[in-house]
Structure 1
Amino acid sequence: MEPHNRWFIAVTILLSLLLAVMPLPYNWLWFRPAFTALLVIFWITRMPQSLGVGFAWLVGVLEDLVTGATLGTHALALAVLAYFSLLTYQRTRAFNPAQQLMWVFVLVGINQVVGNWVHSLSGKPVPGLTFLWPAITSALLWPWVVPWLNSVAGRLQVR
């Protein structure tokens, strides 16, 4: 029996969690891509039969713990993102790169809206629409991340 090399999924998630807390200048914080959201979209689209909402929720709980966010904020947002990714993964695979970029913007935007909603419920001020910047930067990063991840996952035979 061949190994499935699922450790690569864990490594990419750990890398995304590190990038989520990487120090940045204050003016750049709003432009940080939502790396974990990108990876959840990628892995669920690539392996919908194995990964789902529970996977995204677990990644979200880890992100809550690493970033110090209110427990459940990222978990809920990533679970919603995973749900929509699972609903549309077959169509998403057939999209051309520009359509995929727009769909990633929509998915990460939904992720950011849910996260911002939970953040505002805890009584913290909401800074207008600046919370959507990560959706733009994540969508712009998508065309570079996907080919690289597909290449490495293909060579490692991640299934």
Structure 2
Amino acid sequence: MALEKHHGGWVIVFSFMISLMLAVMPLPQWAAIWRPDWVALVLIYWAIATPQRVGVGVGWFVGILHDVLSDTLLGQHSLGYCLLAYAGVKLHRRIRVFPLWQQAVGIFVLITISQILDIWIRGMLGHPPHGLSFIYPAITSTLFWPWIFILLRDMKRAYQVF
């Protein structure tokens, strides 16, 4: 078994740091319910692009960091992010061949499932959802997916992340 040397790990860490900052950045109440799930978008991209480096363990760790930063129940985001990372790693070969608009549809489904898990946990804590507001982050994440994909793909190529 040959040992592979990985390059550009700092790019992955940097992209997660930026996504976590965007996830906890204060927004007005009307805009906060539409906030894309930046961390999920970055996690899905890296799970698809480098499944040997970013997987369920990274999803769990980033979810714990998101929980700490957003002052939510420890593990609340981790459950959804582990599911997203697992789906990204399992389906990475299939997802890569689709055009961006079809990938965005898949992103919508994955983030909607993650949001449903999130509202289920909040519901058990006594904070029921208000209508269909849980779907708004999935809609905006779907709209931002092509730009996130292109930006991270170009960073991956420029810094030779593998």
Q: Matches of 1:126 and 1:101 in 2, distance apart?
A: 25
Moved more, 70-79 or 121-130: 121-130
2:87 alignment counterpart: 84
2:116 alignment counterpart: 113
Q: Is the 8 A contact 2:54 2:85 kept in 1?
A: no
Structure 1 residue ranges (4+ consecutive) displaced by more than 2 angstroms after TM superposition: none
Q: Secondary structure at the match of 1:48?
A: coil
Matching residue's letter, 1:73: Q
Q: Secondary structure at the match of 1:51?
A: coil
**For 1:142, which of 142, 145, 156 is the aligned residue?**
145
Q: In percent, how many aligned pairs have the same letter?
A: 40
Q: Is the 8 A contact 2:42 2:148 kept in 1?
A: no
Matching residue's letter, 1:158: V
Q: Matches of 2:5 and 2:72 in 1, distance apart?
A: 39
**For 2:101, which of 98, 104, 110 is the aligned residue?**
98
**For 1:33, which of 36, 42, 54 is the aligned residue?**
36
The count of aligned residue pairs is: 159
The two structures have a TM-score, normalised by structure 1, of 0.95
Q: Which runs of 5+ in 2 are unaligned?
A: none
Confirm whether residue 123 of structure 1 aligns to residue 123 of structure 2: no
Q: Matches of 1:151 and 1:131 in 2, distance apart?
A: 31
**What pairs with 1:48-87 in structure 2 (closer than 5 Å)?**
48-87=51-90
Moved more, 75-84 or 31-40: 75-84
RMSD: 1.3
1:13 alignment counterpart: 16
Matching residue's letter, 2:93: Q
Q: Matches of 2:104 and 2:88 in 1, distance apart?
A: 14
Q: Matches of 1:100 and 1:90 in 2, distance apart?
A: 12
Q: Matches of 1:86 and 1:153 in 2, distance apart?
A: 17
Q: Matches of 1:153 and 1:48 in 2, distance apart?
A: 13
Q: Which runs of 5+ in 1 are unaligned?
A: none
Q: Matches of 1:47 and 1:75 in 2, distance apart?
A: 20
1:132 alignment counterpart: 135
